[in-house]
Amino acid sequence: MERGIASVKQTKKQWLLWLGRALVVVALFGAIYWLNNRTILLWDDFDYSFDITTCLNGDFTNGQRLSSVGDILRSQATHRQYFGGRNVVHFLAQFFLMLGNKQIFNVANSLVYLILVWAVWANSGFQKKRAFAAIPLIFALLFYLPRHFNQSALWLTGSCNYLWGITLVMVAMVPFTRQWFAPDSPGVARMSRPWAAVPYGIFCFFAGWTNENTGFALPMMMLCFMLANRFAQRKNPRWMPCAMAAALAGYIVLFVAPGNWNRMDVMVGDHGSQFEASAFLGNFFSMTTILIKRYSPMLLLGLAACLGYYWLNQKGWVWKEQWKVYVPAVIFGASCLGSVYAMLVSPSFSPRVWFGIVALLVTAVGASVALIVEDRRFHILLVCAAVLLVPKFAVDYKNALEDINNNTAYWSWCEQEIETAKSQGRREIVLPMHHPVTVYSHAGYFTEDPHEWPNTMLAKWYDMDEIGFSSKLEDPFEAPWDFG
């Protein structure tokens, strides 16, 4: 009788625990969805709504809106030839723009953000430790740490490039980390079967074909885990080298696109090797400064967690065996640095690139923290950190919403002005310049000359002859610049 009552109480406790977790996930989805819902189409979103083949060199006179997947494929073939090899992520962007219903993207993008949070959680080893409290912490860190969250995780074109790109990479890594944490688990064993290994290999190919820096990190991390397996005297399943080869093939397809070199020639111009050398040094110092200035607390936290694990287990410590626990943290940490310095040869280093780097950094630090959460004192500390982070997240979320609403109000006002001009028979309009850039919002970068891109594509989008911007006109929604 007592045993039955205890069983009922345990079942009830489990149901309440799962209900609480479900409510947390719903709340997190609602939070990111509302930011997506308030973010409007911006800048390149108008550009990629057209078949690029019909509007080369910024000439949108004969630009045709996308209407089919065939249009997108033709557009991406042109993009690959002239602008770069990120065909996978740009295909996603053009697909959502072709649908013409941003609510579909809002829901999909919110789900992908949560999938990224889960992938970081799983790759860090928290899933093995069942440390659910890390989920809201990871959610908040991915929100707070990137330099331009809006441009990387809310703006449609930016999200498909950076949020979706790193999500594909992190999901592709889950079988590798699961293999490392639990080599005999049923889920890992199933990866050796063709029905699972073949689609996984295809997925890894597309994951490698995403971005120049995180796409590079994917085969590098896979190779490192395979080498770690060999050093640990474990056998690498056949699907692991196949997946790595697929990811590497995808990255090569990205890297050799003619558009990469065409774009570099345009940016370098006639400056030649002198520009390349100065850009290399400038990028190195800029990247290193940002790493130290903005992300050194995270790096120190990861190091402290590793030292804490050693301190807790120093009695009977044998390096020959214990080195294995640090492998995930070291590999994701190295991939984070590799993703940063892989951009050294790029003529420009967009702040949006940091989003994927931050995801790898959070995974590396998470893998360090996951080592010590089994100790009850540190597990309680993790829960307390998640609770204490709520006020900080609430303030940042409020600021984000205010920035986004300011930008949305400006564009809504502009659209009303354009519609008023069209109703009066005017085909030209000059709008007040408004381009504040904050961590959570940006309005795009338009020029005063209506005959230059991106003003030309904006005019085509709104069916006007000319749309110009002037800094002399009063901006009714003026907001400060804050690069974060």
Secondary structure (DSSP) of 255-276 = HT-HHHHHHHHHHHTT-HHHHH
- d(C-alpha 393, C-alpha 40), whole Å: 23
pLDDT at position 455 is 80
Under a CB-based contact definition with an 8 Å cutoff, are residues 379 and 423 in contact? no
Q: How far, in Å, CA of 101 to CA of 105, rounded?
A: 7
Distance, CA of 316 to CA of 446 (rounded, Å): 64
Q: Answer positive or negative: Cα dihedral of 377, 378, 383, 388.
A: positive
Q: What is the pTM of this model?
A: 0.88
Q: In the block, which residue shows the tokens 């885990």?
A: 225
The reported pLDDT for the residue numbered 346 is 63
* Per-residue model confidence as pLDDT tens for the chain (484 residues): 555 555 656 677 778 878 888 898 999 999 999 999 988 888 788 888 888 777 766 565 677 888 889 888 998 888 888 888 889 999 999 999 999 889 999 999 999 999 999 999 999 887 766 678 788 889 988 998 887 888 889 889 889 999 999 999 999 999 999 888 876 565 555 666 767 788 999 999 999 999 888 888 999 999 999 999 888 888 888 889 999 999 999 999 988 888 777 766 555 554 444 445 566 677 777 778 877 887 888 888 888 877 877 777 777 677 767 777 888 989 999 998 888 877 776 656 677 888 889 999 999 988 888 887 766 666 677 677 777 777 888 888 888 888 888 888 888 888 888 889 888 888 888 888 776 666 676 656 677 788 887 788 788 888 888 888 887 777 776 654 444 4
- β-pairing, 428-432 vs 466-470, is parallel
- Domain map (residue ranges) of the chain: 39-374, 401-470
Pair 172, 247: CB distance under 8 Å: yes
Tell me what pLDDT residue 273 has: 46
Question: What three-state secondary structure class fits 324?
Answer: helix
Q: Are 57 and 88 in contact (CB under 8 A)?
A: no
